[in-house]
Structure 1
Amino acid sequence: MYVLITQLLSGLALFLFGMKYMSDSLQQAAGGRLRTILDRCTRNKYIAVVCGALFTAFIQSSGATTVMEVGFVNAGIMTLEQSVGITFGANIGTTITSQLVSLKLTAVAPFIIFIGAAILSFCKKPMLKKIAAVIFGFGSLFLGINFMTEALHGIKEIPELMNVFGYLTNPIISVLVGLIFTSILQSSSVTVSVLVLLAGSNIIIDPVTGGTDYLACLYFILGANIGSCMPAVMAAMNANRKAKRTAFIHVMFNVVGLVVIGAILIFASEPIVNLINSISGTDKRFVANADTIFKVFQCIILLPCSNLLVKLSKKVIHSRSGEEQDEDEMVLKYIGKSGLTNPTTVVVEVVQEIQRMADMVKINLEESSKALIDKEFSTYKEVYAREKYIDFLSHGITEYMVDANRYGLPLKDKERLGGLFHVVIDVERIGDHAVNIMDDALKEKNQKIEFSKEGRDEMLTMYEKVMEIYEKAVEIFVNEDKSKFDEVDRLEDVIDQMKIDCQEGHVKRMAGGKCSIESGLVFTDLVIGYERIADHAVNIAFSILSEKKIN
């Protein structure tokens, strides 16, 4: 018995390894392309269902899809309404694993592993190595199935273990076991795949017929569907309310499915079992087909009611009065702390958080320059408080990116992340310059330093050009819009020339007695500060290229 249990657990471990290795390799091979497709296909909820199903079938993980989806909603690039179709489709797409397991592919598993291992060992092209990793994971998955199948055949001869499996004939126990097992493994596809093997080995026996207890299998699937919500729930725990609502909709999809399908099974179990049996042929196919039919049925009955689910989620997880987030509380809004970092959402989350940081810097630039030029000092305390928030964000984003590098990021995302480190530094330094401007404005006020009208007009013109290049740079960075590089270059040249003109004009005014030495020092410091802000803005814009223009 010990040997059989060891073989069963070893097979399960190899199966889990193969599935995760294959899923991770697929995500790395596809890179940001999958993320882009997922984002673009959510404008129509019916197309989103198909996209979610195909996406999940491709990466072999509904958990990865839903965690990515929660990340998109949390980052604000996908609305709650758009995410519903992806949620429904992901539930359908995850059934592809059990369908594959129900096929007789175990005999070729060693050959598949050999091909994958050979390419991994001798091929040096990165993309081919990633594809080979997918092949290797696929073969490992089926080799694990082979080990488990052999162990299950031996378990049939041990009455004590068969008695344990006999408890699954109770519908409530079957639902609970499916739920708990899936919650632990965080994958309904793994749980249902194991159920496929149990059914194929005639382990779950109907005490009346002596054959496979089909009804117990159906209840087990319903429990597994509920357990599949765990990755989305955990991913949303420290996310914003919109992301929590996305996870809530995912839970409700499966809870409603449990209630509706469970009620149908109570009153019409025999016709349902006969219908699925008629299109299956084997016990393995029965479980796989039942899983697919249940998910498709849930989608059909709930998709027309998706707006009601959205409204319900908003009532259950309601916003605070006013802002959803207390802006005085220093928090990372788009970057989660749950530890469930998904490689496909890392860049999206970081870009959104940097944009938030850049928006705060923009406000500080505006208010500091207003104090300098218009002598409006009412917000100087807010500027210094906001600078502390900006420093907090800079530290938090950098720390998150360092942690994210421990995950298997696609090569393109790794390159992008490398550029984002520099963007955080550039934005933070612009924030420092904004505070320096406020320092100079307060110095001007306290020491009663006066600029000439010409000097103040020059400062205003330079400030306006600096704000223009900063806003354009952030826009280019967020949208990855390379078409506006020429505008940034042109503005940089204009600002560089303005710096020269301002300094020459100031020297002439000092020679003519229009400006004091004290005002001259402050004026020169401000001109240099504005010009450096423009340099950092150029760095931000060109960060989307692999070779960044450095100032």
Structure 2
Amino acid sequence: MTSPPPPSLDWFTLTMGLFGGLALFLYGLDQLSEGLKQAAGNSLKTLLARLTSNRFLGALTGAVVTGILNSSSVTSVLVVGFVTAGVMSLAQSVAVIMGANIGSTVTAQLLAFNLSAYALLPVAVGFFMLFAGKRATLRYWGMIVMGLGLVFYGMGVMSEAMKPLRSHEPFVQALARMENPLLGILGGALFTGLVQSSAATVGLAIALAGEGLLTLPAGIALALGANIGTCVTALLAALGKPAEAVRAAAVHVGFNVVGVIVWLPFIGLLSRLAVAISPESAGLGGMEKLAAEVPRQVANANTLFNVINTCLFIGFTGWFARTATKLVPSREKEEPSVTPKFLDAAALSVPAVALEQVRQELGRLGGIVRTMLVELPEALTPLSSEALPEVERRAKDAAELEIAILDFLGRIRQGNLTQDESDTHISLMTSATHLRTIAEIIGDDLVGLVRTAAEKPSLQIDRTAIRELYVKVQRSVDLAVRVVHQDAPAADTVLAMSQGVRQCADELMSRLATSFNASNPDGPTTLRLQTSFANSLRQIFSLAKRIAKSLPAPETIETTNSKPKKNTEK
């Protein structure tokens, strides 16, 4: 008697369940990551910047930060920002990227617990925290809890949708071909590149293994492919970026690809190691045994692969850095460059990082303004015809850079900001406009006055008194630029200079009034010229003082849960 044919598959229901579950999984992962970034992004950014003094500590920090943020791509964005800003060397960034690969396996370890039966409980709890919570911190934790529940629920939906495939021979044969390492790696890399998430690929492999449809070697091949496919995100983020960003992406790609190539002949060994450290399910056999044991074995193999790779290559961070530097040579620098150097759209998902990039770019804007004051004659001394156009050109550069900074700040504002981040956003925005205004005063008003003085060398100008005021104002701008980089003593110094600048300006005006000679034909012109120059300098100092007032002190910016004290001084 022949056995009845297997029932036909309902492909619509199966496809709907598979991709609907994948959508829930990815959305939950996004909510989980977003909540973690909002709750801990700023403190983890500080941790990453400080704890990279050696390669081992850098790898450990990268693993911890990525494990908490649940995203190696976010860690890569942080690293690129620090390398570009000169806070971290490229060699140090290699160790952090290696550690980030270890941290990215935390998601797979969680998924292997198969908690889909209880997933709706954290979804409900997280939803209540998110929509009923009055404090921002409680809402962020609501996002975390609900996102975690959606991840497990999406896994459960995918797993349930794939149950009918157990008896579908073509699908079983296709998965059997995945035991060919090259096919499995290629499939994992392609899928990860499409969905932009290695966690989704490993999660799908665990879901297939949970239904007894995937063997351990095939699951390992898919996980290895996911490690290559996740580099697509880094490559896309580096397009059009400075050489430092491209080098960091090249390191990420090189490390992952070399690691997979090294392990390609040893997948059997990796399988045995994963089985040795994974729990056994006694009393089960066949497909049930596979379904019970393989998910944890795949997760453990993924972790082992990244941990062992890091241990093997941690001594070669310098080699990776030198190779990336040779492959991606430095681009010719344009001085001054009006193209933003530090602003990276990939950092917009982490407001704390994006705001730090704005701070670095503001430092560049301030550097242009300081250069203008150095190049301009400090006491209406005639200059060559080439010098003044150079000052005017820098004023245009400052205006273009300010537009780019304000545009980036506007994009940051579209995300969810904490109270501290919102206050910092406002202060950075006002500082950008103040610096541009200073550049306009120098490029338009002061340059025009210097030209007038150059056209009439017979004017009797009191250059000694003007020079004294100019030097004080120039120092206040230097200090204001340091304030942008959170130098609290510099802010105090600028504010303390008010009386001295006012006294110096008053003395200058008194000397001008005393020396004014109405019978001299050039007397009125000389008086107006020097008075206008002094008034412009006082306006510049007033703007420098506003910058000093607007930025919060460093300790309040770094404290996520404290609200910066508002400065009410007018």
Give a deviation string over 1:14-65, Cα, whole Å, max 9, x none: 1111111011011111242121111111222211111111111111111111
What is the root-mean-square deviation in Å for CA atoms of aligned residues? 2.0
Could you say which residue in structure 2 is the equivalent of 1:297? Answer: 308
What's the CA shift for 1:254?
A: 0.3
Query: Identical aligned pairs, as a percentage?
Result: 29
Aligned residue for 2:52, secondary structure, equals: coil
- What letter matches 1:474 in structure 2? V
Distance 1:32 1:489 in 2: 29
1:31·1:412 contact (CA, 8 Å) conserved in 2? no
Q: Could you tell me which of 449, 452, 457 is aligned with 1:443?
A: 452
Could you say which residue in structure 2 is the equivalent of 1:228? Answer: 230
Distance 1:225 1:119, change over 3 A: same
- What letter matches 2:219 in structure 1? C
Could you say which residue in structure 2 is the equivalent of 1:527? Answer: 534
- What letter matches 2:275 in structure 1? N
Structure 1 residue 414 corresponds to structure 2 residue 431 = no
Distance 1:327 1:549 in 2: 39
- What letter matches 2:388 in structure 1? Y
Give a deviation string over 1:407-437, Cα, whole Å, max 9, x none: 3344422221111111111000110111121
> Within 5 A, what are the aligned runs for 1:217-296?
217-265=219-267, 269=268, 271-281=269-279, 282-296=293-307
Q: Could you tell me which of 461, 464, 478 is aligned with 2:468?
A: 461
> Within 5 A, what are the aligned runs for 1:67-466?
67-204=77-214, 212=215, 214-265=216-267, 269=268, 271-281=269-279, 282-320=293-331, 324-327=332-335, 330-336=338-344, 342-370=350-378, 372-373=380-381, 375=383, 377-435=385-443, 436-448=445-457, 450-452=459-461, 455-466=462-473
Distance 2:415 2:194 in 1: 21
Aligned residue for 1:85, secondary structure, equals: helix
Could you say which residue in structure 2 is the equivalent of 1:8? Answer: 18
Distance 1:216 1:401 in 2: 46
Which stretch of structure 1 is more off in the superposition, 250-259 or 401-410?
A: 401-410
Aligned residue for 2:342, secondary structure, equals: coil
What's the CA shift for 1:520?
A: 0.7
Could you say which residue in structure 2 is the equivalent of 1:32? Answer: 42
Distance 1:243 1:370 in 2: 39
Give a deviation string over 1:190-238, Cα, whole Å, max 9, x none: 211211111221223xxxxxxx2x2222222211111111222122112
Aligned residue for 1:372, secondary structure, equals: coil
- What letter matches 1:481 in structure 2? D
Give a deviation string over 1:166-192, Cα, whole Å, max 9, x none: 442332221111111111222212211
Could you say which residue in structure 2 is the equivalent of 1:209? Answer: none
Distance 2:449 2:131 in 1: 62
Unaligned runs of 5+ in 1: 205-211
Aligned residue for 1:327, secondary structure, equals: coil
Distance 1:295 1:358, change over 3 A: same
- What letter matches 2:274 in structure 1? I
Distance 2:416 2:187 in 1: 32
What's the CA shift for 1:340?
A: 6.6
1:539·1:550 contact (CA, 8 Å) conserved in 2? no
Give a deviation string over 1:106-159, Cα, whole Å, max 9, x none: 222111112112222332122111111211111111111111121122221333
Distance 2:568 2:265 in 1: 64
Distance 1:332 1:407 in 2: 21
Aligned residue for 2:178, secondary structure, equals: helix
Distance 2:569 2:39 in 1: 31
What's the CA shift for 1:511?
A: 4.8
Distance 1:497 1:223 in 2: 70
What's the CA shift for 1:403?
A: 1.8
Distance 1:111 1:12 in 2: 19
Aligned residue for 1:373, secondary structure, equals: coil
**TM-score normalised according to structure 1 size:** 0.92
Which stretch of structure 1 is more off in the superposition, 148-157 or 130-139?
A: 148-157
Which stretch of structure 1 is more off in the superposition, 295-304 or 325-334?
A: 325-334
Distance 2:25 2:468 in 1: 66
**TM-score normalised according to structure 2 size:** 0.89
1:506·1:520 contact (CA, 8 Å) conserved in 2? yes
Distance 1:39 1:185 in 2: 30
Distance 1:377 1:464 in 2: 23
Give a deviation string over 1:356-409, Cα, whole Å, max 9, x none: 111111111121234723645541121111111111111111111112222334
Could you say which residue in structure 2 is the equivalent of 1:208? Answer: none
2:22·2:155 contact (CA, 8 Å) conserved in 1? yes
2:116·2:155 contact (CA, 8 Å) conserved in 1? yes
- What letter matches 1:517 in structure 2? P
2:379·2:467 contact (CA, 8 Å) conserved in 1? no
Distance 2:128 2:139 in 1: 10
Distance 1:34 1:518 in 2: 60
Q: Could you tell me which of 522, 528, 545 is aligned with 1:538?
A: 545
What's the CA shift for 1:319?
A: 1.8
1:54·1:93 contact (CA, 8 Å) conserved in 2? yes
